[in-house]
Structure 1
Amino acid sequence: MKIHPGTPGVPKALTRCVRWALYGMASMALATPLLAQDENSEEPDRDEATTLEVVSALGSRGQPRSEQYSAVPIDIISVGEFRNQGATDVLDQLRVLVPSYQVSIVPIDDAATLVRPANLRGLPPDSTLVLVNGKRRHRSAVITFLGHGLSDGSQGPDVSVIPSLALEQVEVLRDGAAAQYGSDAIAGVINFTLKKRTEGGTFEAFWGEHYEGDGDTLQYAAQIGSHLTENGYATFTAEWKEADPTSRSVQRGDAAAVAASGNPFVNNPAQIWGSPEVNRDFKFVANLGLLGENVEYYLFGNAASRDVDGGFYYRNPTSRSGVYTADGGETLLIGDLSGAGCPTIALRDASGNLRPFNAINSAVQGLPSNCFTFFSTLPGGFTPRFGGIVRDRSLVAGARGEWSNGIRYDFSASYGRSEVDFYLLNTINASLGPNQPAGLTFRPGSNIQNEQSFNADFAKSIDTDFTAYPVNLAAGLEYREEEFEVIAGDQASFEVGPLASQGFLIGSNGFPGFNPRQAGTFSRDNYAVYVDSEFSFTENFLMAGAVRFEDFEDFGTTTNWKLTSRLQVTDAFALRGAVSTGFRAPTPGQSNVTQVTTQFIDGELRDTATLSPTSPVAQRFGGRQLQPEESTNISLGLVWAEGPWLATLDAYQIEVDDRIAQSTNFNLTDQDRAELLAAGVRDALSFSTVRFFINDFDTTTQGVDLVVSYATDHFGGETTYSLAANWNETEVDKFTPEIIGEARVQILEDSLPSTKGTFSINHVRDNWTGNLRFGYYGSFYEDHVDSGCVVGPDCLPIYGDSAVIVDAEVGYNFDNGAYVRVGAQNLFDKYPEKNPYGEAVVGAEYPAHTPWGFNGGFYYLRVGYDF
Structure 2
Amino acid sequence: MPRTPLFLALLAATGAATPALAQQAPEESARTLDTLIVTGTRTADRTVAESQSPIDIITPEALQATGTTELATALSRTVPSLNFPRPAITDGTDAVRPAQLRGLAPDQVLVLVNGKRRHTTALINLNGSQGRGSSPVDLNAIPVSAIERVEVLRDGAAAQYGSDAIAGVINVVLKGSREGGSVLGRYGRMSAGDGAQWNLGADTGIALGEGGFLHLAAQGGDQDNTNRAKPYNGVVEQRYGDPEVESGAFSYNAEYSPAEGITFYSFGSYSERDVLSNGYFRWRGDNRNNVAIYPDGFLPQIHNVSEDRAFVAGMRGFTANDWNIDLSYNHGLNHLTFDIENTHNRSLGDASPTQFHAGALETTQNVLNLDINKAFDVGWLAYPLNVAFGAEWRGEKFNLSPGEPGSYADTGLMIPERDANGEFTGDMIRAPGGSQVFAGFKPQDAGYFNRESYSVYLGLEADVTDRLSLGLAARGEDYSDFGSTSTGKLSARYAFTDAIALRATASTGFRAPSLQQQYFQSTATNFIDGVPFDIVTFRVTNPAAIALGAEPLRPEESTNFGLGLVLQPVDNLYVTVDAYHIDIDDRVYLSENLTGPVGDYLAAEHGIFGVQGGRYFTNALDTRTRGIDIVGSYRWAFDASNLSATAGYNRNKTTITRIAPNPAALEEVADEYGVVLNRIGRVEQGRITEGTPRDRFFLNGIWTLGDFSIDATTTRWGEFTNFGTAADGSGDQTYGAEWTLDLAFNYRLDAWTFTVGGDNVLDAYPDQSLAGLGGRAYLPYSTQSPFGFNGAFVYGKIGYRW
Q: TM-score, normalised by structure 1?
A: 0.81
Supply the AA of the counterpart residue of 1:823: G
- Equivalence for 1:830: 764
Structure 2 CA distance for partners of 1:417 and 1:108, relative to 1, 3 Å: same
RMSD value, Cα: 2.6
Cα separation, partners in 2 of 1:791 and 1:306, compared to 1, 3 Å: farther
Task: Specify which of 615, 625, 638 is matched with residue 691 of structure 1.
Answer: 615
Q: SS where residue 431 of structure 1 aligns?
A: helix
2:655 corresponds, among 722, 731, 735, to 731
- Note if 1:54 corresponds to 2:35: no
The answer to whether the Cα contact below 8 Å between 2:702 and 2:711 also exists between their aligned partners in 1 is yes
- Tell whether the 8 Å contact from 2:215 to 2:252 is kept in structure 1 after alignment: yes
**Using a 3 Å threshold, how does the CA distance of structure 1 residues 214 and 673 change in structure 2: closer, same or farther?**
closer
User: 1:631 is aligned with what amino acid?
Assistant: S
Equivalent-residue separation in structure 2 for 1:310 and 1:649 (angstroms):
41
1:469 alignment counterpart: 383
Residue 847 of structure 1, CA deviation: 2.5
For residues 669 and 241 of structure 1, do their structure 2 counterparts lie closer, same or farther at Cα, with a shift above 3 Å needed?
closer
| Alpha-carbon spacing, 1:294–1:515, altered in 2? closer, same or farther (3 Å) | same
Per the alignment, residue 332 of structure 1 pairs with: none
* Letter in structure 1 aligned against 2:588: I
Aligned residue in 1 for 2:485? 558
Q: CA deviation at 1:153?
A: 1.0
The one-letter amino acid of 1:179's match is: A
> What does 1:17-32 correspond to in 2, within 5 Å?
none
Pairwise CA distance, 1:444: 0.4
Q: Hey, what's the Cα distance between the residues in 1 that align with 2:599 and 2:697?
A: 53
- 3-state secondary structure, aligned to 1:97: coil
Amino acid of the structure 2 residue aligned with 1:90: L
Map of 1:308 onto structure 2: 275
Q: How many residues align?
A: 731
Aligned counterpart for 2:341 among listed residues 425, 436, 458: 425
8 A Cα contact 1:661 1:695, kept in partner: yes
Letter in 1 for 2:371: D
**Counterpart position of 1:788:** 725
Matched, 1:650 2:578: yes
Cα deviation for residue 549 of structure 1 reads: 0.2
Letter in 1 for 2:251: V
Tell me the CA shift for residue 566 of structure 1: 0.6
Residue 492 of structure 1: CA displacement? 1.4
For residue 194 of structure 1, what is the aligned residue in structure 2? 174
Q: Check 1:669–1:112 CA distance in 2 against 1; reply closer, same or farther (3 A cut).
A: closer
Partner deviation per Cα, 1:439-472 (whole Å, 9 max, x = no partner)? x111100000111100000000000111110111
Q: Pairwise mapping of residues 335-346 of structure 1 onto structure 2 (< 5 A)?
A: none
Pick closer, same or farther for the CA change 1:527–1:808 going to 2, 3 Å: same
Which residue, 225, 228, 233 being the options, matches 2:205?
Answer: 225
Equivalent-residue separation in structure 1 for 2:73 and 2:534 (angstroms):
39
Residues 1:722 and 2:646 aligned together = yes
Mapped to 1, the partners of 2:162 and 2:614 lie a distance apart of 32
Q: 1:701 to 1:49 in 2, by over 3 A?
A: same
- Alignment counterpart, residue 314 of structure 2, candidates 394, 398, 403: 398
Q: Distance in 2 between matches of 1:598 and 1:156?
A: 23
Give runs of aligned pairs for residues 543-582 of structure 1, distance below 5 A: 543-582=470-509
Report what 2:519 is aligned to.
592
Does the CA-based 8 Å contact 2:590-2:615 persist in structure 1? Answer: yes
Equivalent residues in 2 for 1:80-91, closer than 5 Å:
80-91=61-72
Identity of aligned residues (%): 35
Are the aligned partners of 1:527 and 1:551 in contact in 2 as well (CA < 8 Å)? yes
Q: Return the match for 1:146 from 114, 127, 145.
A: 127
SS of residue matched to 1:433: helix
Counterpart CA distance in 2 for 1:845 and 1:306 is: 28
Q: Do the aligned residues in 1 keep the contact of 2:54 with 2:154 (CA within 8 Å)?
A: yes
2:77 alignment partner, SS class: helix
Q: Find the partner of 1:533 among 440, 444, 460.
A: 460
Distance across 1 between alignment mates of 2:189 and 2:727: 38
Alpha-carbon distance in structure 1 between the residues aligned to 2:292 and 2:757: 51
Tell me if the contact between 1:522 and 1:589 (Cα under 8 Å) persists in the aligned partners.
no
Q: CA separation in 2, counterparts of 1:543 and 1:69?
A: 11
User: Residues 134, 632 of structure 1: CA spacing in aligned structure 2 closer, same or farther, 3 A cutoff?
Assistant: same
SS at match of 1:406: coil
Given candidates 722, 733, 737, the residue that maps to 1:798 is 733
Distance across 2 between alignment mates of 1:109 and 1:500: 29
Q: Which residue of 1 aligns with 2:152?
A: 172
Give unpaired runs (5+ residues) of structure 1: 1-43, 61-66, 260-267, 325-373, 600-605, 677-681
Question: Is 1:745 matched up with 2:662?
Answer: no
Is the CA contact 1:547–1:562 (under 8 Å) kept in the aligned structure 2? yes
Distance change >3 Å, CA 382–CA 715, structure 1 → 2: farther
Change over 3 Å in CA distance of 1:98–1:435 after alignment to 2: same
> What residue number does 2:113 align with?
132
Asked if 1:410 corresponds to 2:296, the answer is: no
**Rounded Cα–Cα distance in structure 2 between residues aligned with 1:669 and 1:210:** 43
Taking structure 1 as reference, are residues 790 and 856 closer, same or farther at Cα in structure 2, changes over 3 Å only?
A: farther
Distance (whole Å) between structure 2 residues aligned to residue 801 and residue 609 of structure 1: 34
Question: Where do 1:262-281 residues align within 5 Å?
Answer: 268-279=235-246, 281=247
1:99–1:758 Cα contact (<8 Å) kept: yes
Q: Deviations over 1:66-115 (max 9, x none)?
A: x2211110011111111111111111101111111111111111111110
Deviation, 1:743, is 2.3
2:93 equivalent to 1:112: yes
- In the alignment, which residue of structure 1 is the partner of 2:634? 710
Judged with a 3 Å threshold, the aligned counterparts in structure 2 of structure 1 residues 715 and 858 are, in CA distance, closer, same or farther, namely: farther
- Residue among 754, 764, 775 paired with 1:820: 754
Question: What displacement does 1:141 show?
Answer: 0.5
Per-residue CA deviations over 1:381-425 (Å, capped at 9, x if unaligned) read 111112201110000011111111110011000100001111111
Indicate if the aligned counterparts of 1:52 and 1:133 stay in contact, CA closer than 8 A: no
CA 598–700 in structure 1, closer or farther in 2 if over 3 Å, else same: closer
Q: Which residue of 414, 420, 440 corresponds with 1:513? A: 440
Q: CA deviation at 1:48?
A: 7.7
Q: Tell whether 2:86 aligns with 1:70.
A: no
Preserved CA contact (<8 Å) 2:432 2:610: no
Cα shift at 1:689: 5.7
Residues 470-485 of structure 1 mapped to structure 2, 5 A cutoff: 470-485=384-399
- The Cα of 1:746 is off from its aligned counterpart by 1.8
AA at the equivalent of 2:781? Y
Q: Does 1:456 align with 2:436?
A: no
* 1:22 aligned partner: none
Sort the Cα spacing of 1:791 and 1:278 in 2 relative to 1 into closer, same or farther, 3 A.
farther
Counterpart in the other structure of 1:247: 227
CA 1:421–1:500: 2 relative to 1, 3 Å: farther
- SS at 2:41's partner residue? helix
Which residue identity lines up with residue 799 of structure 2 in the other structure?
G
Using the alignment, how far apart are the partners of 2:690 and 2:796 within structure 1? 37
User: Is 547-556 or 484-493 further displaced after alignment?
Assistant: 484-493
Structure 1 residues 131 and 215: alpha-carbon distance in aligned structure 2, compared to 1, 3 A threshold:
same
In structure 1, what residue type is equivalent to 2:377? D
Whether the 8 Å CA contact 2:36–2:44 is kept in 1: the answer is no
Alpha-carbon separation, structure 2, partners of 1:172 and 1:548: 21
Corresponding position of 1:492: 406
Q: For 1:671 and 1:287, how far apart are their aligned partners in 2?
A: 56
Kept in 2: contact 1:68–1:646 (CA 8 A)? no
TM-score, structure 2 normalization: 0.87
CA contact (8 A) 2:438 2:523 kept: no
- Provide the C-alpha distance between the structure 1 equivalents of 2:466 and 2:772, rounded to a whole number of angstroms: 62
> Is 1:744–1:788's contact at 8 Å kept on the other side of the alignment?
no
